[in-house]
Amino acid sequence: MFFHVKELQYNAKPSKPDPVYAKKLQEILGGQYGEMSVMMQYLFQGWNCRGNEKYRDMLLDIGTEEIAHVEMIATMIAQLLDGAPVNDQEDAAMDPAIGAVLGGMNPQHAIVNGLGAQPNDSAGYPWNARYTIASGNLLADFRANLNAETQGRLQVVRLYEMTTDPGVRDMLSFLIARDKMHQNQWMAAIEELEESQGAVVPSSFSPEHEISDVAYSFMNFSQGEESKTGRWARGSSMDGKAHFNYVQQPEANGQKPQLNPSPPYMHGTPPISDGGPAEMNH
């Protein structure tokens, strides 16, 4: 059960309207790595968590916080649109560079949303549930969460650099700090799970069903050999069960496939001999 508290997690107000920047902020609201994505990802991971109450509680803690971040950004977008003349879009288009990159104000902010935020990214693409991951394997999910927070913090930092408005930067500074905590949180949870389950997902799969000869081989499939000096190509493997090796000239393994001719009712091309087309029966 959720209850809405009529307070923002962090209060911030822009110094002036900026409909073009409001369009940019849509990315961290409804984009692939925006707050809507991590909100839904963490909540569904928590709701689907089976038999691990500590992790379930943690997931619902952070998922609920992300609802607050969605509210904060949506409120900031609305504030940036408050008092903004709708003709800013036409004004921006007068500068070819700005018009080409931004197109000025998002017209849907005025036409569709009544000067409010929308569950879309900065290009107007609707938020998509396929941005989220909830596999039921906590280690796999937590690694996806770390990636989401890493990409999300990167985008917020870039947005910070795109404005000088002290109120907007104030809110972004809060989000940047929380994303730092969330990255640390997922790294701590990943480390904890790796200690009990191992580093490779899924840990329950039997090695007997793997082709062990290639399980720890780094293969050179591109021109150049600079990659062989990397940690992934030498030394003990990260799961501690073998040693990495570098394969300079990988060879194909397994059977060479040879497809049978298609049946007559498929009307494919019949086999052609070395001497020319096969004789046709009349």
pLDDT tens by residue, 184-228? 999 999 999 999 999 999 888 888 888 888 999 999 999 999 999
Residue 243 has pLDDT above 50, yes or no: yes
Confidence (pLDDT) at 100? 44
Give the span between the Cα atoms of 182 and 73, in whole angstroms: 18
Reported confidence tier of residue 108, pLDDT bands at 50, 70, 90: confident
DSSP code at position 253: -
Known binding residue 66? Answer is: yes
Is 69 marked within a binding site?
A: yes
The residue-averaged pLDDT of 120-128 equals 95
Predicted confidence at residue 140, as pLDDT, reads: 97
Amino acid 91: pLDDT: 58
Q: Is 4 annotated as a binding residue?
A: no
182 labelled as ligand-binding? Answer: yes
- Judge whether 282 is annotated as a binding position: no
* Nearest-angstrom CA–CA distance, 199 and 246: 21
Q: Where in the chain is the domain with CATH 1.20.1260.10?
A: 19-197
Ligand-binding site membership of 222 (annotated) = yes
Tokens of 66: 């992300």
Q: 254 a known binding residue?
A: no
Tell whether 236 is in a known binding site: no
Instruction: Give 279's pLDDT tier (boundaries 50, 70, 90).
Output: low
Mean pLDDT, the chain, as a whole number? 90
Task: Tell whether the model's pLDDT for residue 12 goes beyond 90.
Answer: yes
Cα separation, 168 vs 73, in Å, equals 10
Each residue's pLDDT tens digit, 125-144:
999 999 999 999 999 999 99
pTM over 0.95: no
Which DSSP state fits 208?
A: G
Return the minimum-mean-pLDDT range out of 64-78, 90-104, 154-168, 264-278: 90-104
pLDDT band of 276, cuts 50, 70, 90: low
- Mean per-residue pLDDT for 6-21? 94
CA–CA separation, 16 and 11 (whole Å): 16
Q: pLDDT band at residue 102, thresholds of 50, 70 and 90?
A: very low
195 known ligand binder: no
Question: Which pLDDT score, from 0 to 100, does residue 277 have?
Answer: 54
What are the φ/ψ torsions at residue 110 (nearest 5 degrees)? Answer: -90, -45
**Do residues 105 and 88 touch, judged by C-beta distance below 8 A?**
yes
Q: Which CATH number fits domain 19-197: 2.40.160.40, 1.10.3720.10, 2.40.110.10, 1.20.1260.10?
A: 1.20.1260.10
**More confident of the two residues 85 and 236:** 236
> According to the model, what pLDDT value does residue 96 have?
54
